[in-house]
Structure 1
Amino acid sequence: MGNNQSSGPPTDAKNRSVDIVHEGASGYTLTSPNEDRAVTVVTEGAGESVEMTTASGTVDAPVVARYEVTADGETVIGPSRLGLAFADDDPEAVSGYEVLDVDSTSIAEEWEPVWGEWETVTDAYNELTLALRERSDRGRRIDLVIRAYDEGIAVRYRLPGDSPSTVNVMAELTEFTVREDAKLYGSWHESEYQRLDPTNVRVADPHGDRVDRLESPVVVETPDAPWAAVAEANVDGYPRLTLVGRDGGPGLVSDVTEPVHVREDRDDRPADVKADDSEHTRVEPPFSTPWRAVLLGSSLADLRTSSVLVQNLNEPCRIDDTSWITPGLGLVARTTTTEGARRYVDRAAELGFTWLVWDGPEAYYDADQWDPEADATTTREGFDVPTIIDYADHRGVKIMFYLQHFYIQRNRDAILDRFAEWGVHGIKIGFVNVGPQEWTDWHRETVRMAAERGIHVDIHDQHRPDGFARTYPNLIAIEGGRGNEWADSYPPNGETPWGRPMAAHNVDLVLTRNLIGPFDYTYNYMPDGDLALTTTHAHKLAQSVVTFHPYTDAFRRDRSGRLVEMDDPAEKLAGLSFWHDLPTTWDDTHVLEARISELASVARRSGDDWYVGVITGENPHHLDISLDFLDPGREYEATIYEHNEDAETIDRVRTRARTVTRDDALTADVAAESGVAVRLFQVS
């Protein structure tokens, strides 16, 4: 794949006013390019004040407009209020807003991602900008920018340059009104996705406590209407979005006053890197808030492909030369010696793994990973990082090191400079702070600084994607959800409130969390000891296709190093041949079937070859997939990986092969909490 630059029409053909906005008694209606999606904005009646209960207290937010979203002729988001609250607001002094100007633009172009689910992404939308001014002595200016895509709609607020030099945003009033019979699917931090009543938005967190807010994205299922998902994009100089229940009716409202989140069991960081909660957000006009997006799909499978909307709402790539950016699968190293590292490099190269990552107690520096006094710019005795890097380079393997967030916050420049000096290819940052403006800015600046030094970044724990990886594609992985790391935290007897990631949750991750960007699942394909799988190994193989992740670990919790020490691993693990050949970035993607908690089926193409993954959740499934997505006139060698209890391999995977064409179908009976993975190599 190439650089993330536009390959669309000439600039003078892009930015032109067109007849895409219809003004009537109900306001301004903006339609998508295919005219199947529409957003109507009403400014009449604006100026009322809404009392908002935020994490910082009670705030009066003025309403600047209302909007409504329809798709396929059905209302998906009902009349919802829009507005921003500022520190110097006097709601009683504002009698409404007048429209100073109306501008419309139509854009149609294509761009090629450095990595992604499609070789080429279409960025086509119609845009409406309403320039508004308070009816007050102050006359504050605020613009509403609305876009309509075939994949959904988006809105943001813009403070023009004639606003005060510094503005304190106290709260944001962006509502998402849904029908009372709708269902929401949401999560908080690393909880499972849970089905919620839109009039009672409370979710259980990973420890079983009830929380009254959700993270992006939240999926909306409305009977006899298209699917939707509420998300954010391009979060620059602003807090991250959380969503709380809407007062007075079903739905959600934005909250950008979330206090900084630090895991209580990991709050042993030194005082100089603890975060102070901020009661407001300071911005300097001209300034645009992040986009608030409503992804739309005629079906749940269609909604999953609308994920490109989050990318399209971000800026093009700012890295001139992206040739060094390398997606791929990772193997976790469990050694603290140079010689041990060489063995891991050799095995990674042999098995086709692109990355080797030191993650966990085997730190490269001579201290416990939680020691706040450790010097992360030095290495432990007997662990020669430059020598290891040189050896790995010759074997075609990339090296990544894990560091706790507080090390980098305290000494970011020195650590990144040292990594660049050593030739380290990637940094994995754990237990990051999320929430207020300072932390979204910190994440973005760290990714930018790493890019300047040719370093890949993997952000773990609560941080969630917003499409920034389009702009800086060295951000190759983000966790932001419950992955297979949780198998290391909870025993198999399920004594904790949630236990490990179950098969139904894995299905939901594909159809919810994956909507906003890649997910670093960190597979435990061969865990140690009592860390038994909650699914079959065939499920894990198929999951590696249905879940999008340009980088992730395949063998994370092999703590005893069995994979490195065993002779002839391919004979003991039938799935290794699938991992060996598996791409992690794709030229085409088809979502074949999708049912929350029950089924996810995806076909992906890399070059001439296709991969198919099918994972089941709570129920078994009879697989009958048409192969009509294959090229006409071509034959493919299909290798099918499926669960078999009688198999003599460690992973209980059986393989079978057959020659197929696009006229054929794949059939199989897939048990609950299992899966089928298929590799289709073009042979003629």
Structure 2
Amino acid sequence: MNKLLKIHSYFLYPLLLMFGLVNFACQPVNSNKDFNTNLSSPDKQLQINLNIKYGQLFYEVMTDRGEIIIGPGKLGIDAKKANFAKQLKLVSYNQQESILESMNLIAGKHQNLTAEYNEYHFLFANEKSQKMQLEFRMFNNGFAFRYTFPEQGLKQLNVQQEYSEFFFPQGGMAWLQPYDEASQWAPAYENIYKEYNIGENSPTRNGWCFPALFDSGNRYILISESGPFEPYAAMHLSPTATNGRYAMAWPDSLDANGLYASQPISRLPFSTPWRSVTITKNLDELIQSDMVNLLAPAPKEMATDWIKPGLASWSWLTAHNSPKSFQELKPFIDLSAKMQWPYTLIDANWGEMKDGSVGEVITYANKKNVGVWLWYNSAGGHNIVSEAPRNLLNDAAIRRKEFKKLQEWGVKGIKVDFFQSDKQEIMALHLAILKDAMDHQLLVNFHGCTIPRGWARTYPNLMSMEAVRGEEVYYFGQQFPENAPVANCILPFTRNIVGSMDYTPSVFTNFDHPHLTTQAHELALSVIFESGIQHMGDQPQVYEQLPPSVKELLKGMPSAWDESRLLEGSIGKDLVMARRKGRVWYIAGINGENFPKAVKLNLNTLSAGGTIHLCTDHPSKKGLLTQPVKIARHNMIELDAYGGFIGKIEMPS
């Protein structure tokens, strides 16, 4: 079939179904027999066998040589008054091959992407003649599937259970994050990623988070979810994984302060989120993958010149009460101006400012050419956290009025905190905030929230999401310092793969629980971790006392990249990342182990000759050492125990 350029609209297909404009009859089938067919990637090297046995749907993933990657697993949906998990018959199917789709991201690890995939649609009927469509997209580096329900006799679907499984019969290792137990602050995807045996049960009763990374059969397999893009709950993996079989799980009933149902109720027609599975042979391919965004709907056509990623100073981390004080905020605004960082964040309780007003702060910042972000409580009954402002974003009319005011004030962005659930209503609140913020030219950063789910493509004003155990935990996490070095070497291969991550890196001050990582390790995280809005959370005097060459490295540093590469890496042990913006490469490496090591890098792949301006830990174990190093075929860089380095290469014009 000829290659074609497809501009995919998530919302178009259900409408075509509704008006009968999609022809499923291009491949007639004999519905009296069990069904068995093979799906393939454009390069034919990835295969899926899809079949019906005794009315139940199954799939199996393998290479073109028959090597099993994911073993036979169930598919299907069970809903109230409509069961699509048994007694299914295939009605019809169609396919399109070598679909090409281009996309641009404003924030992220790379800006220009092209996807090629084969798409398959299978229409099934249950014993009541109710219809369900199963959609697959086959990429060269993985696949995705979702369930779509055309309009029919049912007005809505109350989904009870999803039977989708991921089966790893050959064992292996996995890097997983236990799903949070409900609390005043959770779930918020803030447990620590660790290495587990495939098939090991979760230490929490709520299961495993997405994204989940598996090393099975000499391949890396990353499972996550793209969506929801319409009212539906987000899902994760169940706590038990007997013999390597992982099933899907709903949000816990206790989430969101016990409000709302765990299972979604959706009006027809609708589609579930995509279940995305990235499959790569090496870690560099994994780092560069972006399937969650590729599956998302394209944004509306609109002006986006106001959407500008960048670094921000942030006062709350080292001075919790500073949002209430104009005078305490001034040095952070001055820091952003000196470092050519475009933003500053004013965190919780800014409405209680004692020695001025937020309007005065904005005016002061604007004179310094620094944009202001303001913090909000997501509010509603789903959280009981008292920090303010609250009860301004959960009601549509009040929210739009507030956003109109912020736009008139000249505020650049909002940080919205304490969602604490993946239930349907909370997912809808995320999307409503993004849409209204886009209408009022406000950038968005979500905290206490779910993971990135492709929304940054559909709503390019979404700069970052927390969903990580970050620097603030040095205040209250007794075990955090000893876990952080290894976790920092896992996050780039797991959580940060699916989207921007607001870890708030490069903090040198020791809080209640001191760092074990070195200064160079902490500095390197500003490049290792990708976030469209990158918050630099230490005190102004700490950054101002850095060596001049280090300050020059941080000055004007980008937070959105044209290109990203993994130069070296071993999950949980160490890694070296290279990210390019224009003609400048930033290279950073970290050591997650408690002994020194040397890494050998071929920097010639980034620039033909020249010099890397390198910053490492000082041999005296105090402070930082900066020096120019001539680029050679193999550059040897020494890393201290829990150490790191960061450097910059300016390519010749």
TM-score normalised according to structure 2 size = 0.85
* 8 Å Cα contact 1:643/1:676 also seen in 2: yes
- 2:192 alignment partner in structure 1: 192
SS at match of 1:214: coil
**Shift, 1:217, TM fit:** 0.6
SS at match of 1:68: strand
Are 1:309 and 2:299 counterparts?
no
Residue pairs, 1:267-278, within 5 angstroms: 276-278=259-261
Give the deviation of 1:456 after TM superposition.
Answer: 0.9
Q: Pairwise CA RMSD of aligned residues?
A: 2.9
Indicate the residue corresponding to 2:312 in structure 1: 330
1:392 aligns with 2:365: yes
Please, which runs of 5 or more residues in structure 2 have no aligned partner? Answer: 14-21, 180-188, 316-321, 380-389
User: Are the structure 2 counterparts of residues 539 and 354 from structure 1 closer, same or farther at C-alpha, using a change threshold of 3 Å?
Assistant: same
Distance 1:278 1:671, change over 3 A: same
Give the one of 577, 580, 589 matched to 2:555.
Answer: 580
CA drift of 1:421 comes to 2.7
- Aligned counterpart for 1:129 among listed residues 77, 97, 121: 121
CA distance in 2, matches of 1:13, 1:563: 48
| Other-structure match for 1:627 | 603
Instruction: Give 2:490's aligned residue.
Output: 508
Higher mean alpha-carbon deviation, 172-181 vs 107-116, is at: 107-116
Q: Check conservation: 1:147, 1:154, Cα contact below 8 A.
A: yes
Aligned residue identity for 1:241:
M
| Cα contact 1:627–1:665 (8 A) shared by 2 | yes
In structure 2, which of residues 331, 339, 350 is the aligned counterpart of residue 364 of structure 1?
Answer: 350
Give the match's secondary structure for 2:163: strand
Query: Scaled by the length of structure 1, what TM-score is found?
Result: 0.82
What is the distance in 2 between the residues matched to 1:620 and 1:426?
A: 41
TM-aligned CA distance change 1:588 to 1:529, over 3 Å: closer
- Output the amino acid matched with 1:422: W
Q: CA deviation at 1:337?
A: 4.1
The 5 A counterparts of 1:215-230 are 215-222=209-216, 224-230=217-223
CA distance in 2, matches of 1:605, 1:338: 37
Matches within 5 A, 1:425-504: 425-490=412-477, 494=478, 498=480, 501-504=483-486
Structure-2 separation of matches of 1:185 and 1:139: 42
Secondary structure in structure 1 of the residue aligned to 2:284: helix
Pick from 207, 210, 214 the counterpart of residue 208 of structure 2.
214
Residue 292 of structure 1 corresponds to which residue in structure 2? 275
* Contact kept? 2:476, 2:512, Cα under 8 Å: no
Instruction: Give 2:343's aligned amino acid.
Output: W
Aligned mate of 2:355, from 382, 388, 395: 382
Equivalent residue number for residue 594 of structure 1: 569
Match of residue 678 from structure 1: 647
Q: Distance in 1 between matches of 2:276 and 2:646?
A: 33
Q: Is 1:418 paired with 2:405?
A: yes
CA separation of 1:669 and 1:563: change in aligned 2, threshold 3 A: closer
Which segment is superposed worse, 668-677 or 524-533?
524-533
**1:29 alignment counterpart:** 38
**Which SS does the other structure have where 2:490 is aligned?**
helix
User: Who is 2:318 aligned against?
Assistant: none
Flag the 1:69–1:26 CA change in 2: closer, same or farther, 3 A. farther
Aligned partners of 2:443 and 2:463 also within 8 Å: yes
* Partner amino acid, structure 2, of 1:629: T
Residue 487 of structure 1 and its aligned partner are, at CA, apart by 0.9
Q: Partners of 1:436 and 1:117 in 2: how far apart?
A: 29
Q: Which moved more, 1:27-36 or 1:403-412?
A: 403-412
Distance 2:245 2:414 in 1: 39
User: Quick one: which amino acid aligns to residue 351 of structure 2?
Assistant: Y
Q: Which amino acid aligns with 1:347?
A: L
Give the distance between the partners of 1:329 and 1:126, measured in 2 at CA.
39
Change beyond 3 A, Cα 1:11–1:247: closer
Q: In 1, Cα distance between the equivalents of 2:610 and 2:83? A: 69
Which amino acid in the other structure matches residue 132 of structure 1? F
1:247–1:349 Cα change, 3 Å: closer
Residue 184 of structure 1, CA deviation = 2.1
Contact 1:260 1:277 in 2 (8 A): no
Q: Percent identity?
A: 22
Secondary structure at the residue paired with 2:76? strand
The answer to whether the Cα contact below 8 Å between 1:184 and 1:220 also exists between their aligned partners in 2 is yes
Q: Secondary structure at the match of 2:253?
A: coil
Code of the residue aligned with 2:277 in structure 1: it is: V
Structure 2 equivalent of residue 669 of structure 1: 638
1: CA distance between counterparts of 2:506 and 2:585? Answer: 24
Q: Check if 1:636 corresponds to 2:619.
A: no
Contact 1:637 1:683 in 2 (8 A): no
Q: In structure 1, what is the equivalent of residue 68 of structure 2?
A: 75
Gaps of 5+ in 1: 1-7, 47-62, 204-209, 263-273, 367-379
